[in-house]
Chain A
Amino acid sequence: MPAVQETIDRVRSIDVDQYKYGFVTEIESEKAPKGLNEDIVRFISAKKGEPEWMLEWRLDAYRRWRTMDEPTWARVSYPKIDFEDLYYYSAPKTAEGPKSLDEVDPELLATYEKLGIPLREQEILAGVAPQNRVAVDAVFDSVSVVTTFKEELKKAGVIFCSISEALREYPDLVRKYLGSVVPVSDNFYATLNSAVFSDGSFVYVPEGVRCPMELSTYFRINDQQTGQFERTLIIADKGAYVSYLEGCTAPQRDENQLHAAVVELIALDDAEIKYSTVQNWYPGDKEGKGGIYNFVTKRGDCRGRNSKISWTQVETGSAITWKYPSCILRGDNSRGEFYSIAVSNGYQQVDSGTKMIHLGKNTSSRIISKGISAGKSQNTYRGLVSAHRKASNARNFTQCDSLLIGQDCGAHTVPYIEAKNSTAVFEHEATTSKISDDQMFYCQQRGLSDEEAVALIVNGFVKDVIQQLPMEFAVEAQKLISISLEGSVG
């Protein structure tokens, strides 16, 4: 039996036990009634104590959503979602919005501890050098339970809080930017999100400020039949810099759970935003049962001159992934980057990529996408690079590499390129490869086990992207990829 065959068998044998974040937290929750109507939207808005304009904004979104159809162009298939059979709001009873750590339910703190996300500032302070500190906004089902290091960030002028809090404390800032990158009616899921989003993170970095630490949000879906709709809004004012990391997990459940987030980034003149995601939602079991449906709209607007937005994503979880973090390169000399690793195994279906919309002059973008398919999964890269009529000297470089492990998976590359300006230079490179028996044998002859060999080869394959992650997360991401592919390593 060739070595690769064994690897395939091993990959096949992975079952749900490998997903180590599959536990459920027993905590009482307060839910809105099942289903979606205007009253539910009003309920959510009232729960959040939102201003009137926000409720109107939501209701407008809800009415538009009722007229829209689910998009079907992605290469994913799943039974039709019954949007009336979901809970749109679920909050741990003890945590109505962020409080000080002392007031947070110990059960919740324990949950995050189990996930490896320390929330107690004292403990973090004791163990970590100042430059390596990470401020965390922890979102549990529909609400943000706590945000750490808020005071320290405030000293630097940085606002980092839940979006619910921002709507109460900084309504003008939110109103100015919310929906300005992803309009209310952008697409079916974004519109749904606009109507019912319950929480998420808000970041504002003022002019000339370099955010003193990494910011991070950790999303956890816990409750049954609950959709998570979070909304993240990050603004880097002129000359500001911020690096932000998002992590996600969910319990193992037999039914599919819906996650439909919207993330908006705005970079003004000379500002830079680096947004990294390590997505590890529950992917479903070995028969493809359960798992998260992940329909996410992420878009960054390089609104100012010389601004820069960089997306880095490591996608290992979810039953269905539908996600295209994009950049609108509006400001002259602005720059967009997209670095992606998408790992699919079992029956996972990934349709992910990016859009680089070149509008300003001398804009440039770079896309590096690494897809790894194993098991019976399907992994599609879908990307659009376009240059507007006025976007003179637009530059893009795209590299899409796919790695196949086994015979039953698929890798697909669907690039769209539109240049309406004759000075645009767009380059596209794509490769598809398999881990060869010869590579496996060579590694094994040197003493590596099957699993070590696959991990090494795969890590070599994704190296260009891993390098883009903040140091602390690069190691985690490598481990996560190994676990997703093999089961027993790590």
Chain B
Amino acid sequence: MLEIKNLHARIAEDETEILRGIDLTVKPGEVHAIMGPNGSGKSTLSYILAGKEDYEITEGDILFNGESLLDMEADERAAAGLFLAFQYPIEIPGVATMTFLKTALNAQRKARGEGELSTPEFMKRVKDKAAELNITMDMLKRPLNVGFSGGEKKRSEILQMSLLEPKLCVLDETDSGLDIDALRIVADGVNRLRSPDRAMVVITHYQRLLDHIVPDVVHVLSRGRIVKTGGKELALELEKNGYADYVGEQAA
């Protein structure tokens, strides 16, 4: 589903190189965890996958279902089925969460040549999925992410993910800012979305999220390269020994 080949990328503004040759293949149904210390390039990788324009690809390619993502705009990637759950979801003042959900869903449907959902049909979908994530109708009437608690922001991200039904979910530090209860709700939401034709890339610092969302493959990212790949037990080992073994003197 996702094939990253020798990807090199830098910040467009100051040409700082962040990714220095990443190779990664994710098949449908798989969940890959990407772990690594601060500054290793984890979030950058997620932004580049989603098409943020602050970066320049200097080498390599990203294939999504066989097609290169590099020439696609962010909204085209979204319509093609790529979803990024943000580490810091952005506030949109004055726009009710419900309105945002409907606009996003219909924009994607339109881009794929599908008809818009009727309001009753849309409401039904939202209600069911919101309930699973302990999201009240009241919260959906509030402006998107404005004044949301950390937990509310992350649950709202997962709600968007489940409504938009992407093929590839990239979760950027979804566990940050969550207490244990909220973490469980969010993880359950993510697990419900696991399916044989959907892949996930879970970016995290800590093992604790991976207790709930159990990955098939774990990668360690350091200084813009994947330096180690293993099974889920690799995460446990990292939790115990830290990143020092893999990042040398650069360890934080």
- Could you say which residues of chain B place their CB within 8 Å of the CB of A445? 50-51, 74-75, 77-78, 83-84, 86
B66 at the interface (CB under 8 A from A): no
Interface string of A1-18 (1 = CB under 8 A from B): 111000000000000000
A-B contact count (CB 8 A): 82
User: Which B residues, 88 to 112, have Cβ-Cβ distances below 8 Å to chain A?
Assistant: 89-95, 99-100, 103-105, 107-108, 111
Known pairs A456-B95, A457-B95; A447 contacts B104 (CB<8 A): yes
**Contact between A448 and B92 (Cβ–Cβ < 8 Å)?**
no
Bound form: Cα–Cα A456–B107 in Å: 12
Nearest-CB distance from A438 to chain B (Å)?
5
Chain A nearest CB: distance from B166 CB in Å? Answer: 10
B93 near A456 with CB under 8 A, answer: no
- Could you give, for residues 401-431 of chain A, a 1 whenever the CB lies within 8 Å of some chain B CB and a 0 otherwise? 0000000000000000000000000000000
CB within 8 A of B160: which of A437, A439, A446? A446
CA distance A448 to B91 in the complex (A): 16
Please indicate the chain A residues that have their CB under 8 angstroms from the CB of B90 in the complex. 436, 438-439, 441-442
Determine whether the beta carbon of A447 is less than 8 Å from that of B92.
no
Decide: B93 and A444 in contact? CB cutoff 8 A: no
A436 to B89, CA, bound (A): 13
Complex: chain B residue closest to A460, CB-CB? B94
Chain A interface SS verdict (over half): helix
A459 to chain B: which residues have CB within 8 Å? Answer: 94-95
The contact of A456 among B53, B86, B100, B164, by CB within 8 Å, is: B100
Interface presence of A449 (CB below 8 A)? yes
CB within 8 Å of A: which B14-59 residues: 50-54
CB pair B95–A447 under 8 Å, yes or no, is: no
Residues of A within 8 A of B164 (CB): 446-447
B143 within 8 A of A: yes
Contact residue among A441, A443, A462, A463 (Cβ-Cβ distance under 8 Å from B52): A441
* Chain A contacts for B50, CB-based, 8 A: 441, 445
B53 near A1 with CB under 8 A, answer: yes
Q: Does B79 contact A (CB under 8 A)?
A: yes
Contact A447 B107, beta carbon cutoff 8 Å: yes
B143 nearest CB neighbor, chain A only: A460
- Say yes or no: is A43 at the interface (Cβ < 8 Å to chain B): no
Query: Which residues of B come within 8 Å of A, CB atoms?
Result: 50-54, 73-75, 77-79, 83-84, 86, 89-95, 99-100, 103-105, 107-108, 111, 143, 160, 164
Known: A446-B164, A447-B75. 11 other contacts (CB 8 A): A2-B53, A3-B74, A439-B91, A445-B74, A447-B79, A447-B107, A452-B103, A456-B103, A459-B95, A460-B94, A464-B94
Interface CB pairs A-B, < 8 A, 14 = A2-B53, A3-B74, A441-B50, A441-B53, A444-B51, A445-B77, A452-B107, A456-B100, A457-B95, A459-B94, A460-B93, A460-B95, A461-B94, A463-B95
